[in-house]
Amino acid sequence: MVPIRISNAHRKAGQHAGLIYKYLQGYKRGRPLAAINKWLVSVFGPKVDIRSVLTADPLKMDLLIRKYNSAGIALATELQELKSIYKRFRSPSSTPLLTASGEKYDGFAFCAVLDVSVCPYCNRNYIISLEKSGIATCELDHFFNKDDYPFLALSFYNLIPACKPCNHIKSNKTGSYHNPHSKKYSEADLLKFSVQVTGASYLDRLEDLKLAYDVHPVFNDTFTDLKLQEVYEFHKIYVQDLIKKKHLYSEEYLEQLIAEFGGKLFSSREELLGLLLPGYISEDKLALRPFSKLSKDIWEQLAMIY
């Protein structure tokens, strides 16, 4: 798991909500919008309308879910319209939304706003969206599934860019998952990798390396259901490569490279390590390259040993 950190997130969430709200105003002459707002007030009170739901952050979404589950009020039929609009929103051939300048606003544009290159759940697969060709390895996971909670079907922080395997495995499961948008925990709190050498031939035999995982309880369901341990066991070769690179690039050698090429080929130590390692190790770049969290944790462990 790596966090999704968006610059000016509140403003972008507001823009997202504004476009959807504007479309809802004209959708079927605004009748579904009026019915949806009426239902929201009946469940959550007068301060909650579709705009506040569309911009609800992870903490507020948790509160909405708990209140809805305890209210015992049936879903309004009009809420299914949000699922229909989401389906068009994700279609590469038809989108109902336009920006102020007349450009299309759809799932492709939404993913571009988030600027996430790698699945935040597994940090293994690249996720890209090519609007002109209609190709997308980036899917949108509804953190709270849209079948049980259709009022969150288009909410900004409920749409998680994810790879196809993670999205399909998670599907409509209702376990205790951690939203990558949440700021309650850092990536270091949720999952930490380490490696143990169990045999003398660890530079040649993967069997002589054992990966260990320190998983926070709030991330345990995600880690277990998405089979992340099995995924990373399959990629232990990256850990073996990291150990070899740590032998090659001693602290003294790294300092020599920084002295000779710093400011020319790279601007910082972190950027240099980004050139040498499979993934980035800076927290603000973990979502940009596969295996960055693994690389960061193992490299930091090795730095304490060698």
Residue 181 lies in a domain: no
For residue 42, give its domain range: 9-170
For 167-177, the pLDDT digits (tens) are 988 887 766 78
Are 162 and 193 part of one and the same domain? no
Q: Which long-range contacts (CB under 8 A, 24 or more apart) does 128-132 make?
A: 131/92, 131/106
Q: Tell me, what DSSP letter sits at residue 266?
A: B
CB burial of residue 77 (10 Å; 0-12, 13-18, 19+): exposed
Q: Say yes or no: 89 and 219 in one domain.
A: no
Average pLDDT over the chain, rounded to whole?
88
Q: pLDDT (tens digit, 9 = 90+) per residue, 123-167?
A: 999 988 665 555 667 889 999 999 999 999 999 999 999 999 999
Residue 192 domain-assigned (yes or no):
yes
184 three-class SS? coil
Neighbours of 198 (CB within 10 A): 11
Percent of the chain with pLDDT over 70: 92
Of 115, 144, 170, which closes a domain?
170
Query: 272 and 154 in one domain?
Result: no
* Residue 179 is assigned to a structural domain of this protein: no
Q: Do 130 and 267 fall within a single domain?
A: no
pLDDT greater than 80 at residue 267: yes
Q: Is residue 2 part of a domain?
A: no
Predicted local confidence at residue 135, as pLDDT: 63
56 and 109 together in one domain: yes
Greater model confidence, 23 or 136: 23
Is 180 in a helix, a strand, or coil?
A: coil
Instruction: Give residue-wise pLDDT tens across range 179-227.
Output: 999 988 777 788 999 999 999 999 999 999 999 999 999 888 889 999 9
- Average pLDDT of the residues in 33-55: 96
Task: Compute the distance between CA of residue 212 and CA of residue 259 in angstroms, rounded to an integer.
Answer: 35
Q: Are residues 104 and 234 in the same domain?
A: no
How far from chain centre, in Å, is Cα 247?
33
Query: Within this chain, do residues 108 and 250 fall inside the same structural domain, yes or no?
Result: no
pLDDT at 74: 94
Could you tell me if 16 and 49 lie in one domain? yes
Instruction: List, for residues 281-298, the tens digit of each pLDDT value.
Output: 887 788 888 999 999 999
Q: Is 28 left (phi over 0), alpha (psi -120 to 50) or beta?
A: left
C-alpha 297/C-alpha 300 separation (Å) is 5
The confidence score (pLDDT) of residue 14 equals 95
> CB–CB of 246/306 below 8 Å?
yes
Question: What pLDDT does 99 receive?
Answer: 57
Same domain, 29 and 149: yes
Domain co-membership, 145 together with 195: no
For tokens 């798991």, the residue is 1
Cβ(112)–Cβ(129) under 8 Å?
yes
